[in-house]
Amino acid sequence: MSIKEFVKFDKVDKSYDGEVLVVKNLNLDISKGEFLTMLGPSGSGKTTCLMMLAGFETPTNGEIYLEGQPISNIPPNKRGIGMVFQNYALFPHMTVKENLMFPLEVRKVEANEIEKKVKTALDMVELGEFGNRMPLQLSGGQQQRVALARALVFEPRLVLMDEPLGALDKNLREQMQYEIKHIHENIGITVVYVTHDQSEALTMSNRIAVFNEGKIQQISSPDVLYEKPNSSFVAQFIGENNQLNGKVTSINGETCVVETDTGENINALKININKVGDNSLISLRPERVYINSKEKFDNNFDAVVKELIYLGDHIRTRLEICGNDQFIVKVPNSHIGLKLSEGSSVKLSWKTEDSRALEAR
């Protein structure tokens, strides 16, 4: 076992009914100390993967290895994997302290050792005062932290988190993201995190595996995933994204030219198109588009402002360009900001390397 293969999914298939594969030929290595996020829409198989790792589901085919050991035949209570559940699953009839003591007691840890570990864990999530409360007397954020402490208190080799922040409101969710991130950094534990919230994934992870239809579409670090999506699904799923449809007219090494339905030629990076004549979908991040810029760009097109939405720090501008009237540009709200009005004509420009020619869907 190398440090790179702390957890290894080896050709894992999973089907519940013998007709549909929920997870298809999954191969995934997770290294020790890594924070890996499985990201995808609901029904994409990410939670199933987590459940197989925790031992609540068995792979239909293939094997999962933990520290080099196949774990399919180890029952969940012998795996030594901590887990934070959706809606926390704190035992409602036990106090916070008893909840934390539970995993230690079943492991027959000595009483004073238990006391010490529970205290450390509670202090770690800043809930030292709350040991004697019942879980339902705590706020959502506090319950979340108790769940986290409970998953960590018995020092598991691996922690799984199944959409743990889903039930929190936006502010609390952001705060908890940082807290989880810091705890991970401080104790250096390996975390496998499941979410459908892409901003959560981008904030916390070392690597993100984007799931769709039972397959990993792309696995890479957050910045690469955002900047260089290699399929139209990933481009659309991560962050905001403008899409322009067209046909490939020429390919020159790394770049290509795509002609839109309305006849404009767009220069773009060739990502996963094969040959001239293929349909393609060009993906372009809204913040990489310039309005009425004086600099020189490869792509310059005329557009008409359709709608302006004031969002405080920026103005979300919807334009019509190349036959697409859902084209979004974010205009920063600075004092030198542009004075745009609905119906006015502007010039939009962007670099070749910011527009990515992906397969048409």
Partner 1 sequence: MSEITNSGILTTDGIPLKESLKKAERKNKIRALLLVAPLLLFIFFTFVMPIGSMLTRSTDDSYINNVFPKTFKVYQKWDRVGLPSEEIYATMFLEVKQASGFEIGKASTRMNYAKSGWKSMIKKSKRKFKKISENDGPFKDKMIEVDKKWGDPEYWLALGVMVDPTTYEYYLNSFDKKYDSEKNIIDQPEERRIYTKTWIKTFKVSILVTFFCLMLGYPISYLLATLPLKYSNLLMICVLLPFWTSLLVRIVVWMVILQQKGVFNNFMVISGLIADENRWQLMYNQTGTIIVMTQILLPFMVLPLYSVMKTISPNYMRAALNLGASPLHAFWKIYMPNSVPGISAGGMLVFVIAIGYFITPELVGGKDGQMIGNWIGYHLKTTLNWGLSAALGGILLVIMTVLYWIYNKLVGIENIKLG
What does the binding site for partner 1 look like in residue numbers (CB under 8 A)? 54-56, 75-83, 85-87, 89-93, 102-103, 106-107, 150, 154
Q: Residue 79 or 196: which CB sits closer to partner 1?
A: 79
Kindly give the pairing relationship between strand 158-162 and strand 190-195. parallel
Residue type, 134: M
Q: Residue 55 or 246: which CB sits closer to partner 1?
A: 55
Shortest Å distance, C-beta 322 to partner 1: 49
Shortest Å distance, C-beta 163 to partner 1: 12
Question: What Rg, from alpha-carbon coordinates, does the chain have?
Answer: 24
Three-state SS for 247?
A: strand
**Strand runs labelled E in the chain:** 7-15, 21-30, 35-39, 61-66, 69-70, 81-84, 158-162, 190-195, 207-212, 215-220, 242-252, 255-260, 265-270, 279-284, 290-291, 299-310, 314-321, 324-332, 345-350, 356-359
- Closest among 256, 257, 255, 216 to 234, alpha carbons compared: 216
- Closest among 234, 251, 232 to 243, alpha carbons compared: 232
Tokens coding 231? 């399929």
Shortest Å distance, C-beta 62 to partner 1: 22
The distance of Cα 317 from the centroid of its chain, to the nearest Å, equals: 26
Shortest Å distance, C-beta 107 to partner 1: 6
Shortest Å distance, C-beta 145 to partner 1: 16
Quick check: 64 and 12 in contact, CB under 8 A?
Answer: yes
d(C-alpha 202, C-alpha 94), whole Å: 35
Q: Residue 11 or 78: which CB sits closer to partner 1?
A: 78
Q: Residue 76 or 323: which CB sits closer to partner 1?
A: 76
Quick check: 232 and 281 in contact, CB under 8 A?
Answer: yes
Shortest Å distance, C-beta 56 to partner 1: 6
The alpha carbon dihedral of 47, 51, 52, 54 has a sign of positive
The distance of Cα 246 from the centroid of its chain, to the nearest Å, equals: 29
Shortest Å distance, C-beta 191 to partner 1: 15
Shortest Å distance, C-beta 130 to partner 1: 19
Q: Residue 57 or 200: which CB sits closer to partner 1?
A: 57
Q: Residue 82 or 141: which CB sits closer to partner 1?
A: 82
Q: Residue 59 or 82: which CB sits closer to partner 1?
A: 82
Beta bridge partners of 310: 315
Q: Residue 75 or 263: which CB sits closer to partner 1?
A: 75
Q: Residue 90 or 266: which CB sits closer to partner 1?
A: 90
Shortest Å distance, C-beta 333 to partner 1: 39
d(C-alpha 119, C-alpha 361), whole Å: 53
d(C-alpha 286, C-alpha 306), whole Å: 15
Shortest Å distance, C-beta 245 to partner 1: 42
Q: Residue 78 or 361: which CB sits closer to partner 1?
A: 78
